[in-house]
Amino acid sequence: MLESTINKPGKIDWGVFLAMLSLITLGSAAVISSVSALPLAKHIIAAHLAAVPVALVSFFVFWRFNYQIFQDQWKFVYIFLMIFLSGVLILGVAAKGSRSWYNLGFLHIQPSEFARVGIILVLANFLDKYGSRIENFSTVIGAVLVCVPMYILLLLQPDFSAIVVSFPVVLLMLYAAGAKIFHLVSFLIWAFLSGALPVLWTLLRIKPQLTDNVFAAWLASLAVSPLQWLIFSVAVVLAAAAAIKLFPKLFIRIPSFYIIAMTLVLLSGFYTGLFVQHHMKVHQQKRLEVFLSPESDSRGAGYNLLQARIAIGSGGISGKGFTSGTQSRLGFVPERHTDFILAVVGESTGFIGMFFVIIMYIFIMQRVLKTAKTARDNFGYLVNCGIFSLFLVYFFVNYGMMLGFFPVTGVPLPLVSYGGSNLVATAMALGIAESVYARRNIL
């Protein structure tokens, strides 16, 4: 029987709370330092500092809540999630080519930040309910279909960064639930093709000398020629049919199901890649170009990333201090309080500060994952696996972006970057994780 919605929980993991508080403190100092010279500095600082107590209260409120209420009331969570994301398309304000914010005067709310947490709760309920059939591909498809309405609403905004963060979380939760590796690899191949093909076509466009190669020239034409799309699709289908017929004669024992599945994955990945390629906005295309060749436009699209790297490098071992960082404080690093907050931390606190952020993140993830293993039920286990995955993806995307492994995606660094919605949503997620921790020994 479900316990009271709010009851007296067990002890809190104060290590997680102190790590969260440390990152919020460091992030607040970085935000204040980075925007001090901006015309709207007072507004930005006030908005950020106002979000801090709200985040801390959210953490303790969701710690007090019995996390199982989200499983019992998952339909209401899902409906609220859909209404919240749909409403911003009508009532939201347009900024930078997307409609992703509710403007309530002093308060701005970005629903996609809370959707990332909500979908973890909904998906955890689905996987717990159908966990006994997780080895069936239909169950994996069903789990993905649960998330599809959210992805459609995010695409309509559009908010691609939310999809970049949440889709790997879905795959990691499926892995934690016991899905077959083949099923997960199929989705990974689809996701890889969907992202890699636009990157490849962009590379061939900005470096036309590569198309001197016959194969490269064919790849380039594949992005723009409907005739080539048809030829490619027919060739893949014929190759699959030939494999199904010839493999048994060659004593190659690969079931026809796997061949058909891979054919569908390849074709769907190809056409998704085409969709992405032809629907990217100009600034998104520029981000890809910068990722592939940052020095090619050092005064334009590549300026942000190059200046961010200079700022991090100039910090040295111990940094210049929060009031002495010239690159970030004087505005050489654009979007420094949001997308490039790590550049501010690196310049101000140096290697020591960057290493501190890494240690705090690893500590939080380790504690959340350990709690998942000791959760009292499978739902709590899956919820904490999802929250762990969310932090893991945020961590790799942000540090990968600074190192040049990923293009600039506009993904904030939770607890550190400016952004009240992300800060409160992250604190909520950790509060839910602590609710699982507090009740892990209750029978």
Check pLDDT > 90 for residue 226. no
Q: What is the mean pLDDT of the chain?
A: 84
Is it the case that residue 140 has pLDDT exceeding 50?
Answer: yes
What mean pLDDT comes out for the span 222-243?
Answer: 90
Say if residues 291 and 406 touch (Cβ distance below 8 Å).
yes
**Among 60-74, 248-262, 306-320, 372-386, which is the least confidently predicted range?**
306-320
Q: Does position 296 have pLDDT exceeding 60, yes or no?
A: no
pTM: 0.85
The predicted structure's pLDDT at residue 242: 92
Confidence band, pLDDT 50/70/90 cuts, at residue 338: low
pLDDT at 40 > cutoff 90 = no
Angle between helices 256-279 and 226-246 (to 10 degrees): 170
The per-residue pLDDT for range 48-73, each reduced to its tens digit, is 899 999 999 999 999 998 999 999 99
pLDDT, one tens digit per residue, over 75-122 is 999 999 999 999 988 888 877 667 788 887 767 889 999 999 999 999
**Cβ neighbours for 317, distance < 8 A, ≥ 6 positions apart:** 350, 351, 352
Under the banding of pLDDT at 50, 70 and 90, the label for residue 305 is: low
Mean pLDDT across 7-22:
84
pLDDT of residue 99: 79
Average pLDDT over residues 304-332: 65
Q: Which residue has the higher pLDDT, 307 or 279?
A: 279
